[in-house]
Amino acid sequence: MNHWWRRIALSLVAVLVLVLVYAWLYRLGMATFEGEPRTYAQAIRTVIETLTTAGFGGDADDWQSTPMNLIVIVMNLTGVLLVFLALPLIVVPLFQQALEDRPPESTDLTDHVVICSYTPRSDVLAGELEAANVPYVFVDDDAELVVDLNNEGTNAIYGELDQEETLRAANAERADALVTDIDDETNAMVILTARELSSDLTIVSVVEDDEVASYHRYAGADEIVRPRRVLGQSLATKATTTVSAELRDTIEFSEDLAVTELLVQEHSDLVGQTIPESGIRDRMGITVIGAWFSGEFVPVPGSENVIDGNTILLVAGRRDDLTELKSRTVSALRHNPDRIVVGGYGVVGRTAVETLASGGVSTCVVDLADEPGVDIVGSVTDESALEAAAVDDARAVILTLDDDSTTIYATLVLKQVAPEVEIIVRANETENIPKFYRAGAEYVLSLSTVTGRMLGSLLIEGEEILTPETQFELIRTTAPGIAGRSLGEVDLRARTGCTVVAVERGEELLTDLGPEFVVHEDDMLIVAGSDEAVNRFVAFAC
């Protein structure tokens, strides 16, 4: 719309200049050809009357000379021309723009997923659904947002989220599933309304407070997703394993196969080496699926990728071999106090504290609110609050704030106050993850990622996401698109950035997968990689 306002403003300025010029010419003509002087105000009035074809006032009888009549004719024709120019150049386009900017209020989609409310958390879910070729539509009560989403090519409609007519317009009666991710109270209203429309519709509710889960089930929700609780547990687990040589945070499929991510610490054995130099593949027999270097996933790390204190390795192999590799990622110079500082005491922070306490790890909680469970009242961006929490004598700091900007700033402050302490971070938006790593965080997990994966696992048929709570994605899925072809022929790693770590064929788990391995139609593939890489795999092979 700014473009049109500029066009209108320039048009008005042009018309004003034209009126002033014609008024000057009119005064000159009346004085020269008719001997009838006019003031500038009188001339402007007459010019406006002439250009708008509204009449000529009382001067018409005074136009006796040919030059004066020609001047008036030119002004009259200019007025008509302005009208004809204004219609195609301004008026009609403005009406067209107004119609285009009106948000759609219904959809013709069927067998789709209705997502009530668009949030940053929705982007991950949308990516999962698009990769699996599952149609979806967002429903939101922000008209401008709905227009923007449609302009970007995303299906979205406008309406009041808890109203029956809105869900009817979203074709919820003919949808496969409905996801509601607004707030706990509004979610309950949406669930009740949707259940009245259809008894067969699968309804999934994203809850913040665990206590409301039973109410949502009573209202008619089929599935309850608690991403904040899962995120809190994962951050706590990561904080207790990053400085330990013990391998805990892993996905095991058999005695011969486990998959895990390992954070490499400063001053550890691997720092300064490339993957080939480290001998992880050749000497230890471990498959390096990929690695994150400062938040950027590299599916096939080579000689140009040097391991540093911000590197996270995604590896697969025998548990004993992975345990040995884990010991090489831990710094020999680090002290290991049994104490963790938690910044932020919302749902994620509380869950992290509960998880740590169950493992016998002591905590110190810093939060702005003075409430039970908070040890230091203050901001984690305040050096005095951090010093009061003795962060320099902590095993790690977990930041669980609900604002990414504040968390990034807190990370920068922590790097100054306690540069040797591990910083484990909750991000709210996936796009901010690289900023956290640049600020100095050792491990970042996004609420959007956890939410999107948990929802995707429930909504996408034939796909199971095994790791909603880690930085990497591990799925179990069929791959009809490559059935009958060998792994070497399709070259999935080059095409998608993913690695097939194992194949379930009947009751058998196959882990020796060379380039000649041929995928069967009924095989279940276990695939690992970043979110983007796994989405590319699903779109290509499924």
Is the predicted pLDDT of residue 493 greater than 80, yes or no?
yes
Is the predicted pLDDT of residue 444 greater than 60, yes or no?
yes
Q: Are strands 296-298 and 339-343 parallel, antiparallel or unpaired?
A: unpaired
CATH placement of domain 113-225: 3.40.50.720
pLDDT of residue 95: 54
Is the predicted pLDDT of residue 80 greater than 80, yes or no?
no
The C-alpha atoms of residue 139 and residue 318 are separated, in whole angstroms, by: 46
The C-alpha atoms of residue 179 and residue 389 are separated, in whole angstroms, by: 40
CATH placement of domain 2-100: 1.10.287.70
pLDDT in tens, 502-521: 999 988 998 888 899 999 99
Is the predicted pLDDT of residue 7 greater than 70, yes or no?
no
Mean pLDDT of the chain: 86
When pLDDT is averaged across residues 106-122 and rounded to a whole number, the result is 91
Supply angle C-alpha 146, 147, 152, rounded to 5: 95
pLDDT of residue 245: 47
When pLDDT is averaged across residues 223-245 and rounded to a whole number, the result is 82
pLDDT of residue 519: 94
When pLDDT is averaged across residues 250-271 and rounded to a whole number, the result is 84
When pLDDT is averaged across residues 214-243 and rounded to a whole number, the result is 88
pLDDT in tens, 46-77: 888 877 766 655 677 778 888 888 888 888 78
Is the predicted pLDDT of residue 388 greater than 70, yes or no?
yes
Q: 339-448: what CATH class?
A: alpha beta
Is the predicted pLDDT of residue 310 greater than 60, yes or no?
yes
The C-alpha atoms of residue 228 and residue 225 are separated, in whole angstroms, by: 9
| Structural contact between residues 122 and 206, judged by C-beta atoms closer than 8 angstroms | no
pLDDT in tens, 90-99: 555 655 555 5
When pLDDT is averaged across residues 449-455 and rounded to a whole number, the result is 90
When pLDDT is averaged across residues 493-498 and rounded to a whole number, the result is 88
CA 100 to chain CA mean position, Å: 26
Lookup: tokens for 312:
């996270």
Q: Among 160-164, 296-300, 407-411, where is mean pLDDT lowest?
A: 296-300
Answer whether 113-225 and 339-448 agree in fold.
yes
pLDDT in tens, 128-163: 899 889 999 999 999 989 988 998 899 999 999 889
100 pLDDT tier (thresholds 50, 70, 90)? low
CATH placement of domain 472-541: 3.30.70.1450
The C-alpha atoms of residue 376 and residue 382 are separated, in whole angstroms, by: 11
Instruction: Report the percent of the chain where pLDDT is more than 90.
Output: 41
Question: Residue for token digits 């496969």?
Answer: 176
Answer with the residue of higher pLDDT: 15 or 85: 15
pLDDT of residue 223: 95
CA-nearest of 105, 524, 3, 443 to 242 is 443
Whether the pTM exceeds 0.75: the reply is: no
Query: What is the CATH topology of the domain spanning 244-329?
Result: Alpha-Beta Plaits (3.30.70)
Extract the runs of DSSP E, i.e. beta strands, from 287-442.
287-293, 296-298, 311-317, 339-343, 362-367, 376-377, 396-399, 422-427
Q: In three state form, how does the secondary structure of 45-61 look?
A: HHHHHHHCCCCCCCCHH
When pLDDT is averaged across residues 173-189 and rounded to a whole number, the result is 94
Backbone angle region of 220, left / alpha / beta, with phi > 0 → left and psi within -120 to 50 → alpha = left
Q: Where are the domains of the chain?
A: 2-100, 113-225, 244-329, 339-448, 472-541
- Three-state DSSP state, 76: helix
pLDDT in tens, 248-260: 567 888 878 888 8
Answer with the residue of higher pLDDT: 345 or 494: 345
